[in-house]
Structure 1
Amino acid sequence: MAHHARSYKDDVEKANRFKIFKQNLEFIESFNKAGNHSYKLGLNKFSDMSPKEFKATMLTDENNIVHPATKFPKGNSLGNNESTVIDPPNSVNWVERGAVTAIRDQLKCGACWAFSTVAAVEGITQIKTGRLVPLSEQQLMDCDETNNGCGGGWPTKAFQYVQEANGLMSESDYPYKGYKQATCATTGGYAAATITGFDQVEQGEDALLQAVTNQPVSTVISLDGYVLQHYESGVFATDCGSGASHAITVVGYGATMEGDKYWLVKNSWGTTWGENGYIKMVRDVVEGGLCGLAKMASYPTID
């Protein structure tokens, strides 16, 4: 409670939260003691939340969001992009290359789609211009009417908004609130970054590998959330289940000293979750990528 600044309305709620906490702790300890996993679980700010509550709060119900049949302005696959790489390097890390801003926190709001979109736009902006500027998720929340604020959304729709709105303001000029405000507050605001288009990546990890070689890439995974809720470190390699969606940003790839290939993923659950806000997800073991990571990837472009 002290570490995560938790407070509860009364002793009844406190006792209930402590019961949930103990159940989660027992699961975490049992999982780690098994010793046959490539990753570890640990306590974090979600440890007093039940699996059902975590899923309802931090993820988007797949039944509420329909993947858009978007028409992409610059072709509909990576194969049409001139930056396609024939022979990708063994590893890429856009964090180390300076194209990724600090981990942020979507709070108790299903705004992952906005954070994934922003991270990808920040990345290509830095690659093309040399400027790494934290951009505004709140602008997407308030102004992108094709998505649903805390109710979820899709990066492709958000990229379309960014292109048509002539860019995104900076995070400092239009800070995140954790909820959709009643009005769009961009009037007179200065766009800190713009894009000229966006593309989708062909399904499959080979195409995603080539895309990530060029820039950070947005994608959407399917999951039920329970094991991922407690992820702490290592290469995550468990089937995610289904029933909910979550948007993330692939910012690199590589392999551990033990030879486990992974995708390096930026999440939006703050720095107390995972490896300081990041997760390594296993690569080249499941068709379509673990949790469907390589099925719905897309990225912004700048001419």
Structure 2
Amino acid sequence: MAPWLQLLSLLGLLPGAAPAPSQPRAAGARGWGPPPPELLGPARFALEAYNRGRAAGRRAVLAAVRGRVRRAGHGTVYSLEATLEEEPCRDPTVCQLPLTKQTLLCSFEVLDELGKHVLLRRDCGPVDTKVTETQWRMGVFANNLMRAQKIQALDRGTAQYGITKFSDLTEEEFRTIYLNPFLREDTGQRMLPATFLSELAPPAWDWRKEGAVTEVKDQGMCGSCWAFSVTGNVEGQWFLKRGALLSLSEQELLDCDETDKACLGGLPSNAYAAIKTLGGLETEDDYSYQGHMQPCSFSSEKAKVYINDSVALSKNEKKLAAWLATMGPISVAINAFGMQFYRHGIAHPLRPLCSPWLIDHAVLLVGYGNRSDIPFWAIKNSWGTNWGEKGYYYLHRGSGACGVNTMASSAVVD
């Protein structure tokens, strides 16, 4: 391992390097009857999520499960209690103490929409201890404060990190609920490269001041950032070509884009193709956001916006700035390192911490400029106005920070 990576691993700042405190829970599984058949599928999905990324010798097996079922919109939520048997760890290079076999009691919430599962919550800890959920969350919160302080110490910009609305979530919970692992795979529709007319960009630009950007939205507990990034881009393109700023429907993409995975993630390139195939986008008022997948109810009669094509943009940030200032807001994907604790300022994480090869969040470039001689991108996020700078994130410009230049794209409206 490179010296930088060794240091960052010791600091607990590499993804997955800082496990949250185990959550002890009360009671065991004695007296549980046979599980109802309808719980087995969601329980196995939750077990697979628990084992993801774990060493082969440390994978747990499902011992018992019980729970309840409730409807949620057009989906079903399974609230499960399960006991997992975790084999003893034999290899000290991949496992930490204790080395003995242990039984875990876990609480899972699994959403099933049209046969697709989403893990909403996961809390696990050793059986027969008395620590409450509140106490455990306080432990997670304390760990996150220390993590935010480490990120703060290593940031090279002016960003301030600290307490946010996500401070009581473990790193895994935050990634699972709010981020988008499909972006790093980049297996979506191929797009033609855009034609760049000029590399000359004005010193600063902000489409918010020009009326091309709608209010900050909130994706909720759903990995639908890809849909918000694309609708934001299309909103800007339509405004520039038609003079009307319309808030467009992300829910239409969650429900009707048959290539992407709704709350499990997706790719902007696929979303553009879906908009073309469907014949346009409805407005937010006509097809409102629910934050989970539903049966597609798109109506071509209600579609207010269409696109003709989509294009991939240059990885050169000067060209991106010139294109933005001329053509409108840009859909991009970034590595969301540190964003769980971001409060304000210009973020500039160390490259090993915020690798451009590990992008996991889609956002919208709406402008650029300088603050105290530090160049930045102004980025519209989709976590509500009670995060960041009234919903916006500011990232260093010109260094390829967090992969901001690796997946830039735009719709085309003729």
Scaled to the shorter chain, the TM-score interval is 0.7 to 0.9
Cα distance in 2 for residues equivalent to 1:36 and 1:283: 12
- Correspondence for 1:249: 364
2:298 is the alignment partner of 1:186: yes
**2:398 maps to what in 1?**
284
Q: Map residues 82-231 of structure 1 onto 2, 5 A cutoff.
A: 84-181=197-294, 183-187=295-299, 189-213=301-325, 214-223=327-336, 225=337, 227-231=338-342
1:78 and 2:194 equivalent? yes
Distance 1:159 1:34 in 2: 37
Query: Higher relative CO (CA 8 A, sep ≥ 6), structure 1 or 2?
Result: 1
3-state SS of paired residue (2:386): coil
- Give the drift of 1:88: 1.2
Q: Is the 8 A contact 1:20 1:49 kept in 2?
A: yes
1:24 is matched with which residue: 130, 139, 144?
144
SS state at 1:87 partner: coil
**Number of residue pairs the alignment of both structures matches:** 281
**1:178 offset after TM fit, Å?**
0.7
Structure 1 residues 247, 156: CA separation in 2 closer, same or farther (over 3 Å shift)? same
1:121 partner letter: V
Deviation digits for residues 197-230 of structure 1, max 9, x if unmatched? 111102221221122112101011234x3x2211
Report SS of the residue matched to 1:119. helix
Kept in 1: contact 2:346–2:394 (CA 8 A)? yes
Q: Deviation per CA, 1:254-297, whole angstroms, max 9, x where unpaired?
A: 111x1000111111111111111111110112xxx111111111
Structure 2: give runs of 5+ residues left out of the alignment.
1-122, 124-129
TM-score by length of 1: 0.86
SS at 2:218 equivalent = coil
**How big is the shift at 1:26?**
3.5
Name the aligned partner's letter for residue 278 of structure 1.
Y
For residue 381 of structure 2, the aligned residue among 267, 280, 288 is: 267
8 Å Cα contact 2:184-2:359 kept in structure 1:
no
Aligned AA (1:269): W
Relative to structure 1, is the Cα distance of residues 89 and 110 closer, same or farther in structure 2, using a 3 angstrom cutoff?
Answer: same
Which has a greater percent of strand?
2
Answer whether contact 1:57 1:109 (CA < 8 A) is retained. yes
Indicate the residue corresponding to 2:185 in structure 1: 66
Measured in 1, the distance between the counterparts of 2:236 and 2:160 equals: 29
| Contact preservation (8 Å) 1:68, 1:157 | no
Deviates more, 1:43-52 or 1:187-196: 187-196
Contact 2:248 2:283 in 1 (8 A): yes
Q: Distance in 2 between matches of 1:191 and 1:259?
A: 44
Given the superposition, is the C-alpha separation of residues 293 and 30 from structure 1 closer, same or farther in structure 2, using an over 3 Å criterion?
A: closer
CA–CA distance in 1 between the matches of 2:335 and 2:147? 22
Which position in structure 1 is the counterpart of 2:348? Answer: 237
Once the 2 structures are TM-superposed, how far is the Cα of residue 131 of structure 1 from its aligned partner?
0.9
Change (3 A) 1:145 1:11: same
Partner of 1:295, secondary structure, is: coil
Query: Are residue 55 (structure 1) and residue 170 (structure 2) matched?
Result: no
Q: CA RMSD in A?
A: 2.3
In structure 1, distance between residues paired with 2:412 and 2:398:
26
Structure 2 counterpart SS, 1:272: coil
Question: Structure 1 stretches (4+) deviating beyond 6 angstroms?
Answer: 33-36
Larger Rg: 2
Give SS of 1:53's match: helix
2:293 counterpart SS class? coil
**Pair 1:118–1:13, CA change in 2 (3 A):** same
Opposite residue 299 of structure 2, the aligned amino acid is T
Decide which moves more: 207-216 or 292-301.
Answer: 207-216
Query: Would the alpha carbon gap of residues 174 and 283 (structure 1) be closer, same or farther in structure 2, given more than 3 Å must change?
Result: same
The Cα shift of 1:31 comes to 5.4
- Which one of 166, 171, 177 corresponds to residue 46 of structure 1? 166
| Cα pair distance change 1:200/1:33, threshold 3 Å | closer
Q: Secondary structure at the match of 1:128?
A: helix
Q: Give TM-score scaled by structure 2 length.
A: 0.64
Question: Does 2:404 correspond to 1:293?
Answer: yes
The corresponding residue for 1:12 is 132
Q: 1:51 to 1:71 in 2, by over 3 A?
A: closer
Q: Does the aligned pair in 2 maintain the 1:39–1:236 contact within 8 Å?
A: yes
In 2, distance between residues paired with 1:243 and 1:218? 17
